[in-house]
Amino acid sequence: MTFEFLPGGDTVTQGLIDLAAGRITDEALLVLIGAPRLRSLGLDVPSRSVAEPETRLYASLSASDTDSAHSRYNAMIRLLVSFERAFQSGIR
């Protein structure tokens, strides 16, 4: 299932694909951060045991560009929240 028509849908879709394939990417970490809420909304989020996905995502973003890591992390979290709200409100 893809969600490209929702805000942040392409990022969430990629994260779900990556998790299903066993890849821990930035998108996969974002989905893991939102996993409890996404599951409560009815999405099938693959179970992966990743300690502190928030910290790992920030570290990954810092590794590629320390100066913009904070703003990119916040932007990704906002994207996740936008997706969750749109999905919940039935814009499917």
Q: At what angle do helices 53-64 and 69-88 cross, to 10 degrees?
A: 130
Distance between first and last Cα of the chain:
11
53 within domain boundaries: yes
With respect to residue 70, please indicate whether it lies within any of the assigned structural domains. Answer: yes
What's the pLDDT tens digit per position in 38-91? 999 999 999 888 899 999 999 999 999 999 999 999 999 999 999 999 999 875
Residue the block writes with tokens 């928030």: 54
Output the pLDDT for position 53.
Answer: 96
Model confidence pLDDT, tens digit, residues 11-46: 999 999 999 999 999 999 999 999 999 999 999 999
pLDDT band at 1 (very low <50, low <70, confident <90, very high): low
When divided into structural domains, the chain yields a total of 1
4 found inside a domain = no
- Domain containing 78 equals 9-88
